[in-house]
Amino acid sequence: MILTPGRSGRYPPQGRPRRLAGFAVVSTDGLIVVDKPGGMTSHDVVARIRRLARTRRVGHGGTLDPMATGVLVIGVGRATRLLTYVIGAGKSYAATIRLGQATVTDDAEGDVIASTPAGAVTDEAVRAALAALTGEIDQVPSAVSAIKIDGQRAYKRVREGESVELPARRVTISRLDVLSIRRDSPDVVDVDVDVTCSSGTYIRAIARDAGLALGVGGHLTALRRTAVGGFTLAEAATLDALEQRAPDVVNLPLDAAAGRFFPRRDAAPEEARVLSHGGPLDPAGITGPYAVFGPDGGLIAIVSERDGRARAEIVLAPA
């Protein structure tokens, strides 16, 4: 917990925290691993955490569609500056693909735009179509996505009746395991999969492209994100659980979060002083970016080495 100073600039006595906009205390800086429920946008979750953590300085590390559930990493306070690295981390998902129907959104939230009986598609053909979508591929994102075109989200243009074509982007699907193939009705085939992929991969697009390859159309009916980098569902908290312990909602304080996510370097006192003011250090030969900690164990900065020097990408030591 940290207390907020009063108008005089002094901190209130212990046990008598100052109230600010109805709040007595604010949550410590750090990351929260949330198990996002279905039906909420990532922005909805951020708004809830702002209320629970009692601070406006909250952000998320990678959008999940409203239909999707699972790991959503939230940053609070100074830890929001770590989110750019979280967004770029690899991710894992459990998903269900329905073959035999295509939708306008490539998932179950959109209207069905084409139906083609998929009962004759063999299990071998399904596995082959998905295997062809693994490795480094050029993937066209779903037209109904948050990607901006001339400053406006693609999904807004689609909703306004425009025809949107997004350029393909290179992504890596390092694992796409078929867990089961179910034929519960004669015209559709449901395929449960586990996927590990690079940032920027659209699981909806995998469903769409598998359906196109098989000539029957496809869309996503369920999506659960199981990991972001090293953060997994095992440590994720539901919003209800966070509500019960508010404002102590941070799973990983800033120092612990950086220690989990980055390689570590410990700085000597003079190095800590230089780096905390934005100055460079001698290189340590660590593949970056990496976290540098001071003699007191506190996080100073995220650093990368270039041109023979170790330079701060972001300084996180308190001012």
DSSP string across 147-209: -EETTEEHHHHHHTT----PPPEEEEEEEEEEEEEEEEETTEEEEEEEEEE-TT--HHHHHHH
Consecutive 10-residue averages of pLDDT for the chain (319 residues) = 37 36 66 97 96 96 93 97 95 98 92 95 98 96 65 56 75 98 95 97 96 98 96 97 95 94 96 96 94 96 96 90
Hunting for tokens 């062809």 — which residue is that? 132
Q: Per residue in 229-279, pLDDT tens?
A: 999 999 999 999 999 999 999 999 999 999 999 999 999 999 999 999 999
Helical H segments across 184-290, by residue range: 203-214, 239-245, 254-261, 269-276
Find out whether 189 and 183 touch, Cβ atoms under 8 Å. Answer: yes
Is 65 an active-site residue?
Answer: yes
37 Cβ neighbours under 8 A, 6+ residues apart: 69, 238, 239
The reported pLDDT for the residue numbered 155 is: 56
Residue 106, SS3 per DSSP: coil
Q: Per residue in 60-76, pLDDT tens?
A: 998 898 999 999 999 99
Catalytic option among 65, 190, 209, 255: 65
The reported pLDDT for the residue numbered 23 is: 46
Specify the pTM: 0.86
The reported pLDDT for the residue numbered 288 is: 81
The reported pLDDT for the residue numbered 279 is: 96
The reported pLDDT for the residue numbered 108 is: 94
The reported pLDDT for the residue numbered 11 is: 34
HSE of 73, CA atoms in CB hemisphere, 13 A: 28
- Check residue 89 and give left, alpha or beta (phi > 0: left; psi -120 to 50: alpha): beta
